[in-house]
Amino acid sequence: MHLKPRFLLAALGFALAPFTASAQDIELITEARVTFEITFGTSLTTTNDKAGAERVDTTRGYLSTITNREIAEALRTAGHIPDTASTNWDFVAVRPAPADVNYVDTDFYLYAVKTVGTTITERVRIPSSIFDVFINRSVRNYVETYQGRNVLTSRGTVINYASVAFTPTFTRTQVAPVTTTAPGGARTITTVTTSFTLSDLLSSGFSTIAYVTRRDPVFYYGIDSLRFTSKGDFIGTLQDRTTVRHFPPGSLTATNPNDPPTLSDPYFGSGLVSMIIRIGSARLVPRSLYDQVPFYD
């Protein structure tokens, strides 16, 4: 995280003097909605084990995409979201309000929030051991107006190179359920899913960040939109879960709905990953809503 004063309003001089008193009395940070799209590229090996046939192992690539819904459920299952269901839980990016264009970047704290209607009722910080951002260099294209050395307005785009470490646990379907039909019409449906427990995921790429300065109730650099697109790799532990359901001829009701799935032994997994993070327009909110965000970012 960068080390800088909360607002740095003193540096703006007399041109912004009316806002300085407000900044001293009001502790504000920014909050914005976050949308994730993470695609994992893995391989799957299937075996021809028909009786009397020569064994043939076939390996093919498989892409698996998870979004906010799957991530929220994974964090709930792991105990980071204190709820009986992940319904109505989503994510926000929280950070101190940038006081200079140099601090318009991809850096933020990730919070899971529960929304009832249009009101956020619960806020839970996702620890840095699960989600963390590492900031590198930026290129800025912007226009500013000054009075002396004091910035009056600023508007532009920042291209920031960053890395994101993210290690959720999630489950995805490996292959489509396989249906076999016996003589007489009885059916067996077999479903295989894989649970991923990630130990490392590092994805690096570029953010395109649009911003414009705002002056109500304080002067700050308001981020209007951020899109982070990156590539990387992951490693972790995988475990297969196989569910078999038997159906009588012509029936849609399984004869064994209460049979538990069969779990494989955990095994090592790795592959490539691409990540897209979209952050909407940021708004000022009281710091007291996110008391774990430090006074310096």
Higher per-residue confidence, 166 vs 55: 166
Say what the pLDDT of residue 170 is: 75
pTM for this model (two decimals): 0.78
Instruction: For residue 203, give the amino acid letter.
Output: S
The pLDDT of residue 168 is 80
Note the pLDDT of residue 253.
Answer: 95
How do residues 227-246 score in pLDDT, each as one tens digit? 999 999 999 888 889 999 99
CA distances from 111 to 81, 130, 134, 155 (A): 10, 11, 17, 27
Least confident of 24-28, 139-143, 222-226: 24-28
φ and ψ at residue 13, rounded to 5 degrees: 70, -160
**Cα angle 86, 244, 191; round to 5:** 55
Query: Collapsing DSSP states into helix, strand and coil, what is residue 15?
Result: helix
Q: Is 258 in a helix, a strand, or coil? A: coil
Residues 7-43 pLDDT 10s? 343 333 433 434 433 343 358 999 999 999 998 887 6
Residue 105 has pLDDT above 90, yes or no: yes
Q: What is the pLDDT of residues 268-296, one digit of tens each?
A: 888 889 999 999 999 999 999 998 887 75
pLDDT at 126: 95
Question: pLDDT by residue (tens digit) across 77-102?
Answer: 889 999 999 999 999 999 999 999 99
Residues 274 and 64 sit within 8 Å (Cβ to Cβ): no
Per-residue pLDDT at 210 exceeds 80: yes
Residue 2 has pLDDT above 60, yes or no: no
Nearest to 234 by CA among 277, 259, 201: 201
| Model confidence pLDDT, tens digit, residues 106-115 | 999 999 999 9
Distance of CA 113 to the CA centre of its chain: 13
Torsion over CA of 142, 145, 147 and 149, rounded to 10 degrees?
A: 10
What CA–CA distances, in Å, run from 110 to 105, 114, 242, 250? Answer: 15, 13, 34, 50
Adjacent-strand bridge partners of 270 = 235
> How many other CB atoms are found less than 10 A from the CB of residue 35?
14
Q: Residue 59: which pLDDT band, with cuts at 50, 70 and 90? A: low
Spatial separation of the C-alpha atoms in residues 51 and 3, rounded to whole Å = 67
**Of all residues in the chain, what percent carry a pLDDT higher than 90?**
61
CA distances from 46 to 55, 60, 175, 265 (A): 10, 9, 10, 17
What integer pLDDT is reported at residue 47 of this predicted model?
67
User: In this model, does residue 154 exceed pLDDT 50?
Assistant: yes
Q: Are 182 and 247 in contact (CB under 8 A)?
A: no
Give the tens place of pLDDT for each residue, 156-174: 999 999 999 998 877 766 5
Residue 61 near residue 40, CB atoms below 8 Å: no
Q: Classify burial at 133, counting beta carbons within 10 Å of its beta carbon; exposed 0-12, middle 13-18, buried 19 or more.
A: buried
